[in-house]
A and B are shown apart, each in its own frame.
Chain A
Amino acid sequence: MIDFDGVSKRYGRKQRPALDDVTLTITDGEFAFLVGASGSGKSTMLRLVLCEERPSQGRITVAGREVTSMRRRQVPGLRRDIGMVFQDFRLLPEKSVYDNVAYVMHVLGHPRRVIRRAVTESLELVGLTGMAKRMPHELSGGEQQRVAIARAVVKNPTLLLADEPTGNLDPTTSLEIVSLLDDIHGRGTTVLMATHDDEIVNQLRKRVIELADGAVVRDQARGVYGRGRR
């Protein structure tokens, strides 16, 4: 699903690269945690997968597409295959829960009938049935993040990227959110989640890729947050 081959990313004329010669593969249907301190390169890696940035060096393949040399007009096609969840939810405050999720489908030009069905299914998946008419400010942080996840999966992506999705949530809610992501993974979606949260990483025991100063320092199947480093 994701293939990094000797990828480096340098911003401007900075001496230290944000990513330094990273080579790794995440296969179809895998769930992987991306861990590391702030500034270790986690977000840069996600941005490269989403083609928000281009690598300074190396080759990236996502969902069978060569991203490195991808033309600008082909980028939206790649992104339609990817769902993205952010730490700060990024909901549209003046739209209801239903409209926030439906917005993606409208933007992508789906017919109203398809949108209605997909949004209903998506809200059901994240456990927000009955909250469709609520406004974002009427929801708790966990519920808002569920809406954001529903919005990310409504278009049925093959890959789900999550950038610190539990960063603004309490431990109990964080676990609920991660188990929701695990459910989505169970349906066949590849999940790559950047996180600082040791508790959830330790609890789920999935693959852990640890970055430090832009380099992969640990890549461990069924790993934990801070132990077992090579």
Chain B
Amino acid sequence: MRPLFLLGEAWTGLRRSASMAISIMIVTAVSLLFFGVGLLAQRQVETAKGYWYDKVEVSIFLCIKNSSEPSCGRQAATQEQIDRIGADLELMRPVVKEVTFESQDEAYQRFKEQFTNPAFQDTPKEAIPAAYRVKLADPKDYDTMYTAFSGAPGVSSVKDIRAILEPLFRVMDVLRNVAWALAGLMLVCTVLLTSTTIRQVAFSRRRETGIKRVVGASKAAIQLPFMLETVLAVLVGAGLAVLGLWAMVRYGVTQLAARFQDFRWIDMPDVWAVAPWTVLLGLVVGVVVSWVALVRHVRV
């Protein structure tokens, strides 16, 4: 069968069974959209993780004047206490990989750069503590650091920046799992709908199929138009799913990223990275399901 005739057959078939084709497109689009959302949620975790895990640090905040923590005694950390903490950190190598002392001036400067909101403009320098920013050889050793420095003289608090990200990661994990569960459910619908559609279309075109068979058409010549129609419908569905992902990131995530700038958010390149996998899954499902349905319902 010549390719042009094959395409013509598929196009005529799609026109004649437009409602069935549209239903395949919609169900495929929804299932692949959920699949894509799952992939994007996973990428969001990796994106945020990748950024922070490289820069992970335990922050040992030092006492400021009027600190309420018992270890501070409402006094700012003395130079002796600061030196002592620094010396202790040096002793903890190689657990401690890198130590940077951030003075109160530097901390205040960074605070002003990061928090440009007018509500923070009147924050006095004295309210921003100096800190030791510590990079660990193994981020899991946070507990060791916490035990060693929490409550030590001159130390106001010991914090793991990863703890801030944990809630985000938990939300993303749930989002990914829910999205993939829904994608799985919708894919089952896609499989059943495609199979039923092919069965119905094969029945409605039994005369054409019968003629093809009697005149000696090959198996491919009989089955290819059906398969091509399914694949075209699935491809349109996959296109709609990618469009949905694009819209979500363009109008949803970008807005979030503008509001919450503590870490990096996924962006358009991430959509283009998951798009081929989304389309590929649609194609594989379309081809496999139509092939199985054709073997079962179209006699050659």
Chain A interface residues toward B at CB < 8 A? 50, 73, 75-82, 84, 90, 92, 103-104, 106-109, 111-112, 151, 155
Instruction: Tell me, in angstroms, the Cα distance from A112 to B216 when the chains sit together.
Output: 19
Which B residues from 172 to 225 make CB contacts under 8 A with A? 207-208, 210-219, 221
Number of A-B residue pairs having CB atoms within 8 Å of each other in the complex: 50
On chain A, the residues within 8 Å of B215 by CB distance are: 79-80, 84, 104, 107-108, 155
**A80 surroundings in chain B (CB, below 8 A):** 215-216
User: Residue A109 contacts which of B2, B207, B210 (CB distance < 8 angstroms)?
Assistant: B2
Once A92-B207, A109-B2 are accepted as A-B contacts, the answer to whether A50 and B214 lie under 8 Å apart by CB is yes
B210 touches A107 (CB 8 A): no
CB neighbours of A106 from chain B (8 A)? 1-2, 5
List the A residue with the shortest CB-CB distance to B205: A92
Contact check, A90 vs B216: say whether CB atoms are below 8 A apart: no
Shortest CB–CB separation between residue A203 and chain B, in angstroms? 28
Knowing A92-B207, A103-B211, the reply to whether A109 touches B216 (Cβ < 8 A) is no
Provide a sorted-by-A list of 7 A–B residue pairs whose CB atoms are within 8 angstroms.
A79-B215, A84-B215, A90-B207, A103-B211, A107-B1, A108-B215, A109-B221
B interface residues, Cβ below 8 angstroms from A: 1-2, 5, 207-208, 210-219, 221
Known contacts A106-B2, A106-B5, A109-B221; is-contact A92 B208 (Cβ 8 Å): yes
State in angstroms the CA–CA spacing of A80 and B215 once bound together: 6
A183 to B213, CA, bound (A): 26
A151 to B212 CA separation, bound complex (whole angstroms): 11
> Is A79 a contact of B221 with CB atoms below 8 Å?
no
Given A77-B216, A80-B216, A92–B211 Cβ distance below 8 Å? yes
Complex Cα distance A73/B219, Å? 8
Contact A108 B217 (CB under 8 A): yes
Q: How far is it, in angstroms, between the C-alpha of A159 and the C-alpha of B21 when the chains are bound? A: 40
In the bound complex, residues from chain B placing their C-beta under 8 Å from that of A82 are 216
Q: For B217, what are the chain A residues with a Cβ–Cβ distance below 8 Å?
A: 76, 107-108
With both chains docked as a complex, state the minimum distance between the C-beta of A49 and any C-beta of chain B, in angstroms.
12
Q: Give chain A residues whose Cβ lies under 8 Å from the Cβ of B211.
A: 90, 92, 103-104, 107, 151
Instruction: List chain B residues, Cβ under 8 A from A112.
Output: 2
Which of B212, B214, B216 has the most chain A CB atoms inside 10 A of its CB? B216
CB distance from A193 to the nearest CB of B (A): 16
Residues from chain B with Cβ under 8 Å of A76 in the complex: 216-219
- A155 to B211, alpha carbons, bound, how many Å? 13
Taken together as a complex, chains A and B put the C-alpha atoms of A109 and B2 apart, in Å, by 6
**Smallest CB–CB gap between B114 and chain A, Å?**
69
CA distance A76 to B215 in the complex (A): 8
Since A79-B215, A107-B221 are in contact, a sample of 9 more A-B pairs with Cβ atoms closer than 8 Å, ordered by chain A residue number, is A77-B216, A79-B216, A84-B214, A90-B207, A103-B211, A104-B211, A106-B5, A108-B221, A155-B216
Shortest A73–chain B CB gap in Å is 7
Distance, CA A81 to CA B216, complexed state (A): 8
Contacting residues, chain A, for B2 (C-beta < 8 A):
106, 109, 111-112
Q: Closest CB-CB distance, B298 to chain A, in whole Å? A: 14
Measured in the bound complex, the distance between the Cα atoms of B58 and A117 in whole Å is 85
Which one of B207, B210, B216, B219 lies within 8 Å of A108 (CB-CB)? B216
What residues of A have a CB within 8 angstroms of the CB of B218 in the complex? 76
Given A73-B219, A107-B221, A109-B1, are A79 and B207 also a contact pair (CB < 8 Å)?
no
Q: Which residues of A contact B221 (CB under 8 A)?
A: 107-109
Please give the distance in Å from B193's CB to the nearest CB on chain A. Answer: 26
Contacts of A92 in B (CB 8 A): 207-208, 211
